[in-house]
Structure 1
């Protein structure tokens, strides 16, 4: 009884403290409803992690206290990093809800049997799975994506065209056993993704939905106020025949986006086939590749000084094994030489300027130079390798090349980081997984699907990489952990700082935080603020007691100016519109 009475009295006393209205202090923690750095764990470091190596964005994220590595390709988000992630997720929610999408949360575990039914279990990505079994021997996967699961859920719940269109999205963890994790969050083995899955009763409505999603994704990226590129892309293992990628142009990027300066032509290099290039005075060079079944040797001719576009070769001859480093040696190997029906196929410049006999002679001459007698094989010199009716060019794009889509345009190449992808899937998953509905004619028809994704954790790293400078990170206002930090020099009191903080909250809702750490100097706090990358730094210095003015700093805009306290919120809002 005494214990219960004591507990009751303690609870009553706690309720009477009015925490939101007054101040509650425990040890070094200070609670009064205001954001304070003394209450946020920010294990930042003032010195570079390694003086001998230039810092990249990942190094800065670690040094600034946003994340820590747990294992190769796997990271823990700390309070500042989680706050950035939360803001990205809120942006995602905003634009997904505007599309009429409902939010779900799918399990990270999926069964191998579903992936077998869709045909994706071993097709090109079997080694990327994290596999496990439960105590009953059921084979499971850590999901790298959720097309199979969401299709099965909808197949069991949707049976009529009147229940469509349907749009479902989530923000969840995904897993991929990446062979070479690198660049921190940009290519990890565990990552956060926004997935949007769309379901329509007809191909026409599905393509209209696809356009709506593209518009929504562009609107989301517009909110970040960072330059981005949209490029036509290869659908790859995901399936379908229509897809687009969304990129930040960045030197740290692993993709190359090829864009015309005149028209809307914009493609990932994986889709580029370009125009054929005529050989100059330096003549022609040859590259050789071999097919997966080892029965076909590809002889690719191209103007000297250029590079072979492997992606274009794959489009012309999908069975090529581009991973073979020494195709000629393999072609000559005894085990391959015994294969019947071997063919040498020519790929290269158009035959507009030469006869079939002339090209046969050129190919035979090139083969003799590498020790192969053309007479021993069947030669295929047909030039029927086209892409949408246009002859395929087998050289990589270069800055200044003519645009394959318009006459006056020329191409520019951009290294880029992919942050999103949209896919029109058609019936790629609804057919093997039995997602059918009763249509307007009371007949059974397949549902047309789309899947779309924004890499949330990838976007954190990409934005950090895009704006970082020699002083530290530089966050966009929309996703900064805090948009402004308030730092007091010696002549400003805690009450003065609170006045400035409260005025920002009341007049503009600026997401500010107070640096009230008493064991650190003003200089250290300023350097730390630059490292973390707050868009705005507000300093209460000498001008505060004299003129009730603060120093406002914005590194991205190169601004360091004195602003009266009553004008501070307006000035921050004015500059935010330019960030």
Structure 2
């Protein structure tokens, strides 16, 4: 992990530093020429005011990111939202209500999550968004699998303790009117575990006072930032994370500095925290670009940009050609080249080059010996071309600019 911590005097300078580092991160990931998403994210246990994650879109990813097709909005599913939509008008019945039950960590509150069950949707529980529920009931213990068993135990232990247990109904805002009308027909409590006069709490909006959308974000949902874009949901691998911490740690640690214009006044430093998973990047990029022949490293992180493989061993002409790739008229060409001079069979060397994942392979074979032409290969770009020796540096440079 590459870690960076920043310390600023004011909120304004801390925000500017955060933007500068974010721009550097974006430039770094841009060099990889891969679909890296910069997603708004939850600060989680780190705390702070702003947070962004850098993700590589891939089917094996452990994270979920929603990205707009139009405006560039992108967010981790912990904080992602979709443009509000209202349900078709009609007569609601209890079958239109999806229900998931949970319990708080102190085992004193049963949490009913009521979400819309759309036409044609199965009765499975995967249509609701756990992050939306946690945002309004942070004490929810979402690790529990058998809620009713724990609630039954809580009811037994609370006998004779009036008011200890509570029922929390978390209701998608679109269901509120129907919920009020149908409440007596809905299973507010598990069968056989009814409690007389249990206090109830209704939660129907976000902490910011906005409509509460409990549905899981799906492909095609409307973007919350623009009027025309739709969201695409990606599985993704997290490569980096940035946090604008503010005074989250400097205040409790009493990390203060004197103001330049008034040394007698001490203020807490404004902090930022930034990290890139170096080893995660290597693994993620390898997984993203691997094919049936081997790895395919981007130019920016390849062990070498170019490998030269002579088909019949290394001689003086081979070394002269290698030198012409790295220097021209005594000036470095900028190409990062390695010559495979190992005493192995030509076929073995070619297979090894494919497995290693060099961006460009130059083969010095019969055409080179007879006509001074090299075979230039680039697997990622599906290139296999015979090029005159004197044109190779320019041709290879053009290929590398695309990788």
The verdict on a shared fold, with TM-score over 0.5 as the criterion, is yes
Q: Using a 3 Å threshold, how does the CA distance of structure 1 residues 228 and 351 change in structure 2: closer, same or farther?
A: closer
What's the counterpart of residue 336 of structure 2?
511
The structure 1 residue matched to 2:316, chosen from 477, 485, 495, is 495
Mark the runs of 5 or more structure 1 residues left unpaired by the alignment.
1-192
Cα offset, 1:436, TM superposition:
0.7
Distance in 2 between the 1:355 and 1:302 partners? Answer: 12
Determine the structure 2 residue equivalent to 1:257. 65
Alignment partner for residue 296 of structure 1, among 109, 123, 132? Answer: 109
Partners of 1:447 and 1:405 lie apart in 2 by 33
Could you tell me how far apart the structure 2 residues matched to 1:214 and 1:356 are? Answer: 45
Q: Compute the displacement of 1:443 (Å).
A: 1.1
Q: CA deviation at 1:336?
A: 4.6
Deviation of 1:197 after TM superposition, in Å, equals 1.1
Equivalence for 1:426? 246
| Aligned residue among 194, 199, 216 for 1:373 | 194
Residue aligned with 1:567, SS: helix
The answer to whether the 8 Å contact 1:330/1:336 transfers is no
Is 1:452 equivalent to 2:274 in the alignment? yes
Alignment of 1:310-459 (within 5 A): 310-333=130-153, 335-338=156-159, 340-350=163-173, 354=177, 357-358=180-181, 360-362=183-185, 365-367=186-188, 370-373=191-194, 375-383=196-204, 385-386=205-206, 388-439=208-259, 440-441=261-262, 442-459=264-281
* CA shift in 2, pair 1:369/1:493, >3 Å: closer
1:308 to 113, 117, 128: 128
Secondary structure in 2 matching 1:386 = coil
CA contact (8 A) 1:194 1:455 kept: yes
1:267 to 75, 78, 82: 75
* Cα deviations by residue, 1:390-419 (Å, 9 ceiling, x for unpaired): 222112111001222332221101111111
Whether the 8 Å CA contact 1:488–1:539 is kept in 2: the answer is yes
Distance of 2:23 and 2:43 partners within structure 1? 19
How many Å separate the matches in 1 of 2:196 and 2:156? 20
The equivalent residue for 1:526 is 350
Q: Residue 301 of structure 2: SS of its match in structure 1?
A: coil
How does 1:117-266 map onto structure 2 within 5 Å? 193-266=1-74
Equivalent position to 2:381, from 542, 557, 566: 557
Secondary structure in 2 matching 1:416: strand
Task: Supply the distance in 1 between the matched residues of 2:257 and 2:143 (Cα, whole angstroms).
Answer: 43
- Aligned partners of 1:553 and 1:414: how far apart in 2? 32
Equivalents in 1 of 2:132, 2:18: separation in Å?
27
Partner Cα separation in structure 2 for residue 474 and residue 352 of structure 1: 51
Q: RMSD of the TM alignment (CA)? A: 2.1
Return the alpha-carbon distance in structure 1 between the equivalents of residues 81 and 196 of structure 2: 31
Asked if structure 1 preserves the Cα contact closer than 8 Å seen for 2:59 and 2:235, the reply is: yes
1:543 to 333, 349, 367: 367
TM-score after normalising by structure 2: 0.89
Which deviations, in whole Å up to 9, do the C-alpha atoms of 1:128-168 show, x marking residues without a partner? xxxxxxxxxxxxxxxxxxxxxxxxxxxxxxxxxxxxxxxxx
Greater shift in the superposed pair: 502-511 or 299-308? 299-308
| Cα distance, 1:274 vs structure 2 | 3.6
Q: Is the 8 A contact 1:551 1:562 kept in 2?
A: yes
Residue 289 (structure 1) shift: 0.6
* C-alpha distance in structure 1 between counterparts of 2:169 and 2:41, whole Å: 27
Question: 1:494 Cα deviation (Å)?
Answer: 2.3
Shift, 1:369, TM fit: 6.1
Native 8 Å contact 2:116 2:175 kept in 1? no
Q: 1:278: Cα distance to partner?
A: 5.3
